[in-house]
């Protein structure tokens, strides 16, 4: 056994060269993330948009007021981001003439007023922040520590603070602001898609409570599309205090661990992945108490990432990266269908249905 442990199968020449290239990619992926962060901090997506949707490097240099000496370096940054699909390139005689927005970079444009445009720049800035990266760099130390449950996240272990908690603001007010802005933008993206693709989800409802509904963006969109639905938003007092009181939705300050305002349906959109299984059962139990029987139309609507390889390797990888984000920064996780089914049963629900897959997310109806 000792001799075997000291030997290893040597790759072929082709395998060795490919392995080295793969190692470069995996070791240096952070440079793609930080390159994307750089583009956002410079305002490149917004600049291209304001230049009519396409821009040359000299045009970008002028628009962004960058020193002329940096022009060749900007070309190199844009080349990487084009290769990764952040931007597209128009070519003339084999040379890049102009850079254009892609669907990805369109959601990184700031300052646009549109019902379904929720700029994701804050999400990127949070995900690539020093605090997130330091937490990830401490992952090996976190694995080595033997501590009693409930286990702190690596973020808590490194920083002594919990995300989305008052302690984050004490740690760094700027981080707290960008994290909360990123959370709101991330959660509100795709509301229109949900309303178009899942029309029966809200049809026939008389009332709905949107748990952790923030400033009511989602609830207002539902109320606009379905005026007969009385929408209530439940969130923490610090969130409700800043919400617009426009009379379209009703706001309730509270804690979903203790009580959920009664309604025919309760909605949890991108909430449960932040929490442990035990906490999810407590939340779902409160939701079950807030709704009537299935015969009376009672249900819980859950919109969450539904992990699985059926959507292809790129989407599956995105789901797993989001699970790693939860592992490093929260006590929650992304879940596959069996995980969700177990939570529903433990919380006292009798049945559920996957209404539709919308990209990486699944839309569930859960019945008492």
Whether 122 and 108 have beta carbons less than 8 Å apart is answered as no
Q: In what order do the strands lie in the sheet with 54-55?
A: 54-55, 95-101, 87-92
What pairs with residue 96 in β-bridges?
A: 91
Which member of 49, 118, 159, 273 is catalytic? 273
Q: Between vectors from CA 70 to CA 69 and to CA 76, what angle results, nearest 5°?
A: 135
**Cα separation values, 362 from 219, 319, 357, Å:** 19, 12, 5
Count other C-beta atoms under 10 Å from residue 276's C-beta: 16
Give the chain's radius of gyration (CA, Å): 23
Give 255-295 as a DSSP string: -TTT-----SEEEEES-GGGS-HHHHHHHHHHHHHHS--GG
**Computed from CA positions of residues 97, 100, 104, 107, in that sequence, does the dihedral angle turn out positive or negative?**
positive
Whether 72 and 60 have beta carbons less than 8 Å apart is answered as no
Distance CA 138, CA 342 (A): 31
Question: Does residue 273 carry a catalytic annotation?
Answer: yes
Does 24 sit behind a cis peptide bond, omega within 30 degrees of 0 on the bond before it? no
Q: Pairing relation of β-strands 95-101 and 87-92?
A: antiparallel
Distance CA 115, CA 134 (A): 36
Element (H, E) at 353: strand 351-358
Helix axes 71-83, 13-42, angle to 10 degrees: 120
DSSP symbol at 53: S
Residues that are catalytic = 273
């Amino acid at each position: 056994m000792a001799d075997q442990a000291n030997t290893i199968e040597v790759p072929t020449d082709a395998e060795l060269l490919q392995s080295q290239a793969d190692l470069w990619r995996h070791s240096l992926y952070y440079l793609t993330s930080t390159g994307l962060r750089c583009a956002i901090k410079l305002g490149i997506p917004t600049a291209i948009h304001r230049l009519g949707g396409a821009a040359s490097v000299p045009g970008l240099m002028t628009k962004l007021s960058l020193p002329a000496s940096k022009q060749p370096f900007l070309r190199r940054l844009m080349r990487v981001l084009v290769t990764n699909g952040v931007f597209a390139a128009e070519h003339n005689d084999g040379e890049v003439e102009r850079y254009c927005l892609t669907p990805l970079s369109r959601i990184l444009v700031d300052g646009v007023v549109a019902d379904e445009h929720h700029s994701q720049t804050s999400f990127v800035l949070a995900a690539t922040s020093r605090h997130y990266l330091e937490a990830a760099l401490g992952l090996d130390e976190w694995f080595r520590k033997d501590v009693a449950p409930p286990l702190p996240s690596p973020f808590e272990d490194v920083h002594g603070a919990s995300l989305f908690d008052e302690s984050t603001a004490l740690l760094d007010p700027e981080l707290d602001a960008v994290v909360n802005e990123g959370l709101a933008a991330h959660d509100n993206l795709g509301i229109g898609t949900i309303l178009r693709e899942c029309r029966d989800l809200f049809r026939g409802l008389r009332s709905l409570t949107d748990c952790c509904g923030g400033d009511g963006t989602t609830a207002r969109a539902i109320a606009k599309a379905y005026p007969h639905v009385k929408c209530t938003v439940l969130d923490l007092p610090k969130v409700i205090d800043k919400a617009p009181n426009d009379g379209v939705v009703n706001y309730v300050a509270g804690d979903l661990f203790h009580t959920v305002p009664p309604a025919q349906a309760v909605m949890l959109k991108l909430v449960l992945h932040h929490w442990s299984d035990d906490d999810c059962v407590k939340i779902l139990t409160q939701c079950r108490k807030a709704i009537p029987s299935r015969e009376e139309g009672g249900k819980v609507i859950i919109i969450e990432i539904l992990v699985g390889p059926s959507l292809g390797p790129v989407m599956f990888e995105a789901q797993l990266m989001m699970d790693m984000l939860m592992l490093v920064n929260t006590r929650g996780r992304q879940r596959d269908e069996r995980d969700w089914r177990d939570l529903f049963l433990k919380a006292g629900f009798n049945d559920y249905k996957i209404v539709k897959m919308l990209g990486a997310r699944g839309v569930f109806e859960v019945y008492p």
